[in-house]
Homo-oligomer: A and B are copies of this chain.
Amino acid sequence: MRNIFLSIVSLLAVHLADAQSADSAYIKRISDEILTNGKAYENLRYLTKQIGGRLAGSPGMVKAEQWGLRMMQQSGADQAWLQECMVPHWIRGGTDIGQATYTVPATGTRNGIVKSSVLDIVALGNSAGTGTKGISGEVLLVNSFDELEAKKDQVKGKIVFYNYKFNPTYIHTFLAYRDAGQYRGQGPSRAAKYGAKAVIVRSMSHSTDNIPHTGATRYDTAFQKIPAVAIGLKDADWMSEQLQKTKLQVTLKTKGQFLPDTIGHNVIGELKGTEFPEQIITVGGHLDSWDNCEGAHDDGAGCVQAIEIIRAFKAIGYQPKHTIRFVLFANEENGLRGGSKYAEEAAAKGEKHILAIESDAGGFTPRALGFSGSDEQYQHFLSWKDLIAPYGCSELVKGGGGSDIGPLNRLLKTPTASLNPDSQRYFDIHHARSDVFEAVNKRELELGAVNMAALIYLVDKYGL
């Protein structure tokens, strides 16, 4: 009896080893295809250089949607379509202009010399413009919300400058972003509450340059919607230093405004499942980008990685058991209407989604896959570590998802995963005009696709 039992155990072990070895070989085949014949990099070049910025509602958005649909078809999707949704339509309306005026002591006179300095500014996304005359005012430096509260009696009529620093001691830079991001999001309304006439925010970045970083602000409708801009780190340090010794008058001219909502689309491509066509695995990123950049890392990378996975699967003749949906989501940056629409329609149609994976943290070298689901599913996910680790995601971690697939999780309880590439360089270029094609490395981008493709292959084969 014991011998029989042992035989069964060892048979099972052999079977498991065989399966692992077959999976390992198949994942290598996917990886070799992507690293040898990959088109993600050239596709990204087209998206960034021929189309460029593609904020919701912009002409770039429309061109990008058409490109995305074409790419889905050319890459071999069984079917591809546009899923319509209304999107907000914020426009910058022209060049943002900032200037600081200050006095320096003049030798031998009692008056100072008035100097002025151009500030490299970018209006925050969704922010209100200053009007054509601009807004001028004295700058009030606050290094934190606590300091704002302490100085609340001085705020009225001033331009509040939030000089909250991006914390360099977090190893994972997204923690610094979560920490500092509240100043961009809540800063304008919290200053407006005390009568500020505009807000300047220190950019959320570790960069060594002076390029300002935009991103969405969120007005609290209880207060006036005052203009809000970001400045780069060198200008922020300079302003902070000046304000120790003198007063600064700043003039801001921005033209941001909302036009009526318009029509946008999620771009969807599908490989139909052979065994469980009604069960869906979604993978994607967002097609929109801020208007001030090429949106190469954010999130052109996620888009071309999704397209690359279709191409590679077709190239090696992979026929998925489940239906795989490749989605380029609309309007992640300032509305999330695409992700919401995708989930709402899935719920309305009673679709069954077994996993959604998002790549929206840049096209950098892969380090981890994050996963959110039940404990049992998480253990299953963890069991694939040795198969995926050789391709870069050497860590499989708890907690994964993304803005665009969040609604799917909330409405359908779909488990979600994220590609977590190395985060060191992301906030150097995030939402800044330096987020360009040249900042992306071909192999790092491709490896992101490899690691997600490996996860999709395993989920498709074994379920979750």
CB under 8 Å from chain B, chain A span 354-378: 365, 367
Q: Are B395 and A394 in contact (CB under 8 A)?
A: yes
Partner of A442, one of B28, B169, B206, B392: B206
* Contact status of A32 and B169, CB under 8 A, knowing A395-B394, A422-B422: yes
CB under 8 Å from chain B, chain A span 179-238: 206, 208
Q: How far is the CA of A441 from the CA of B168 in the complex (A)?
A: 14
Q: Are A171 and B392 in contact (CB under 8 A)?
A: yes
Q: Please tell me the number of chain A residues within 8 Å of chain B, measured between CB atoms.
A: 28
A444 touches B (CB below 8 Å): yes
Q: Which residues of B contact A425 (CB under 8 A)?
A: 441, 443-444
Q: Are A168 and B394 in contact (CB under 8 A)?
A: no
Q: Which residues of B contact A206 (CB under 8 A)?
A: 442-443
A391 touches B (CB below 8 Å): yes
Q: How far is the CA of A390 from the CA of B206 in the complex (A)?
A: 19
Q: Are B444 and A424 in contact (CB under 8 A)?
A: yes
Q: How many copies does the complex hold?
A: 2
Q: A394-B395, A424-B443 are in contact. List 9 more A-B contacts (CB 8 A).
A: A41-B208, A168-B443, A206-B442, A365-B365, A365-B422, A394-B394, A424-B444, A424-B447, A425-B444
Q: Pull 30 A–B residue pairs with CB atoms less than 8 Å apart, ordered by A.
A: A28-B169, A31-B169, A31-B171, A32-B169, A35-B168, A35-B169, A36-B168, A36-B169, A41-B208, A168-B443, A171-B390, A171-B392, A171-B447, A173-B443, A206-B442, A208-B442, A365-B365, A365-B422, A365-B424, A367-B367, A367-B394, A394-B394, A394-B395, A422-B422, A424-B441, A424-B443, A424-B447, A425-B441, A425-B444, A428-B441
